[in-house]
């Protein structure tokens, strides 16, 4: 059964003759039914929607609006898995709670509750915010959309807010994870006297759109500069997680997991590698491991993994030394 608010919106749109709202509401119901694997019902609703005279007249406009909205997002196939990430214990627990709530949304709705679907990730760059958003999409088996600021942010009055509205309208039509990286670019503090009135209007519109999202659309926002976010932004997000820079122990765990995936022993202990790498981010740890994979692939099976790891460590130390010198 579709959610009560969608049914109310459906009746109101039909009574008022608002064909655009009617189509949007039915599309949201179809998306929700497909998420529940009720594909027969979803197909029947889709056929009914296409046969509706009012909707047929606006079908081209709706398709055109959807196409424009997709110009402002990148759709990627989620590859990261939650099991592949090294996360703080409480952070992982909160994510698994979110996944369970989304997967068992029907049970929650039978108790007049909705699953949480708004997540804010903060922390220094390169420590897994984007990877975590992608892993949530993979775990939920939904589409992963990344908002493109280069396409969304415009120079004319009201242009940015209008484009963001199209993004949210499209995200409402399908279960997905909608990811805002560098969220402070559009969610800045409105009390900043150095900002123009336009960014304040954008933030106000953004917050209203976030509030209006249905619970089957999971919105994840990430920021390296939490201090720049508007105070009202924090209240909108039900789950707020800090992803700090990894400790040496966590890098050891990362290297241990990497070594277990290789076909031969690395020959160097994970703790030795972690100590040699020094204080790095997860992104840098991943790049180090990818460097080993590249050399191993190019050796055509003749390379010794221990020698390659040792060689890459030497190169890494030289890189760190040069960086310090600069």
DSSP characters for 3-68? -HHHHHHHHHHHHHT-HHHHHHHHHHHHHHHHHTT-HHHHHHHHHHHHH-HHHHHHHHHHHHHHHH
Predicted pLDDT at 62: 45
Q: How confident is the model at residue 58 (pLDDT cuts 50, 70, 90)?
A: very low
Residue 1 has pLDDT above 70, yes or no: no
CA angle 29, 31, 34 (to 5 degrees): 110
pLDDT in tens, 201-258: 888 888 888 988 888 899 999 999 888 888 888 888 999 999 999 999 999 999 998 9
Q: What angle is formed at CA 239 by the lines to CA 233 and CA 244, rounded to 5 degrees?
A: 95
Mean pLDDT, to the nearest integer, of 320-326? 50
Element (H, E) at 322: helix 305-325
Q: What pLDDT score does 64 carry? A: 45
Highest mean pLDDT among 56-70, 128-142, 294-308 belongs to 128-142
Dmax (CA) for the chain in angstroms is: 73
Cα torsion angle, 29, 31, 37, 40, sign: positive
Which is more confident, 22 or 155?
A: 22
Residue 320 — very low, low, confident or very high, per pLDDT cuts 50/70/90? low
Looking at residue 57, its pLDDT comes to 43
Token pair belonging to 88: 């703080």
How many CA atoms does the CB half-sphere of 321 hold within 13 Å? 7
pLDDT in tens, 161-208: 888 888 888 888 888 999 999 888 787 766 655 555 667 788 888 888
The CA-based angle 202-206-210, given to 5 degrees, is 180
Residue 59: what pLDDT?
45
Residue 275 has pLDDT above 50, yes or no: yes
- Cβ neighbourhood burial of 51 (10 Å; 0-12, 13-18, 19+): exposed
Please tell me which residue, 3 or 121, carries the higher pLDDT value. Answer: 121
Whether residue 203 contacts residue 186, with contact meaning beta carbons closer than 8 Å, is answered with yes
Rounded-to-integer distance, Cα 216 and Cα 211, Å: 13
**How do the domains of the chain map onto residue ranges?**
4-69, 73-242, 248-325
The pLDDT value recorded for residue 191 is 61
pTM confidence score? 0.73
151-to-168, 169, 198, 247, 315 alpha-carbon distances in Å: 15, 16, 17, 37, 38
Averaged pLDDT of the chain = 83
Q: Among candidates 166, 128, 132, 175, which has minimal Cα distance to 148?
A: 166
pLDDT for the residue 54: 47
What pLDDT is recorded for position 194?
A: 57
Token couple for 200: 């304040």
Token pair 């010198």 is at which residue?
325
DSSP 158: T
Question: Which residues neighbour 300 within 8 Å (Cβ) at sequence distance 6 or greater?
Answer: none
Q: Which of residues 325 and 86 earns the better pLDDT score? A: 86
* Structure tokens, 172: 């409402």
> 313, 273 in Cβ contact below 8 A?
yes
Give the tens place of pLDDT for each residue, 94-152. Answer: 999 999 999 998 899 889 889 999 999 999 998 999 999 999 999 999 999 999 888 88
Phi and psi (nearest 5°) for 238?
-75, -30
- The bridge status of strand 143-147 relative to strand 118-122 is unpaired
Per-residue pLDDT, averaged over 17-23, amounts to: 73
Report the 10 Å Cβ neighbour count for 287: 13
Per CATH, which fold does 73-242 belong to?
A: Rossmann fold (3.40.50)
pLDDT at 295: 92
């Amino acid at each position: 059964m579709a959610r009560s608010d969608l049914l109310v919106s459906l009746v109101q749109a039909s009574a008022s003759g608002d064909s655009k709202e009617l189509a949007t509401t039915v599309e949201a119901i179809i998306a929700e039914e497909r998420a529940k694997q009720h594909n027969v019902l979803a197909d029947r609703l889709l056929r009914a929607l296409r046969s509706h005279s009012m909707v047929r007249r606006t079908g081209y406009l709706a398709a055109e609006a959807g196409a424009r909205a997709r110009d402002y997002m990148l759709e990627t196939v989620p590859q990261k898995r939650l099991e592949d990430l090294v996360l703080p214990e409480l952070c992982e627990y909160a994510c698994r709670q979110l996944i369970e709530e989304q997967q068992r949304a029907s049970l929650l709705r039978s108790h007049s509750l909705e699953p949480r679907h708004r997540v804010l990730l903060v922390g220094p760059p390169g420590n897994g915010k984007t990877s975590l958003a992608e892993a949530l999409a993979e775990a939920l088996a939904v589409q992963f959309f990344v908002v493109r600021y280069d396409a969304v942010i415009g120079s004319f009055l009201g242009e940015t807010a209008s484009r963001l509205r199209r993004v949210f309208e499209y995200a409402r039509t399908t279960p997905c994870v909608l990811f805002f990286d560098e969220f402070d670019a559009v969610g800045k503090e409105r009390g900043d006297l150095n900002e123009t009135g336009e960014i304040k209007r954008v933030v106000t519109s953004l917050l209203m759109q976030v509030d209006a999202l249905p619970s089957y659309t999971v919105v994840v926002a990430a920021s390296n500069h939490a201090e720049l976010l508007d105070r009202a932004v924090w209240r909108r997000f039900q789950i707020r997680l800090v992803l700090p820079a990894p400790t040496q122990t966590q890098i050891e765990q990362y290297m241990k997991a990497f070594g277990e995936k290789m076909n031969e022993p690395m020959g160097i202990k994970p703790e030795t590698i972690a100590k040699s790498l020094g204080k790095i981010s997860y992104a840098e740890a991943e790049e180090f491991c990818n460097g080993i994979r590249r050399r191993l692939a190019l050796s055509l099976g003749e390379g010794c993994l221990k020698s390659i790891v040792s060689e890459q460590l030497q190169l890494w130390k030289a890189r760190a030394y040069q960086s310090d010198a600069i």
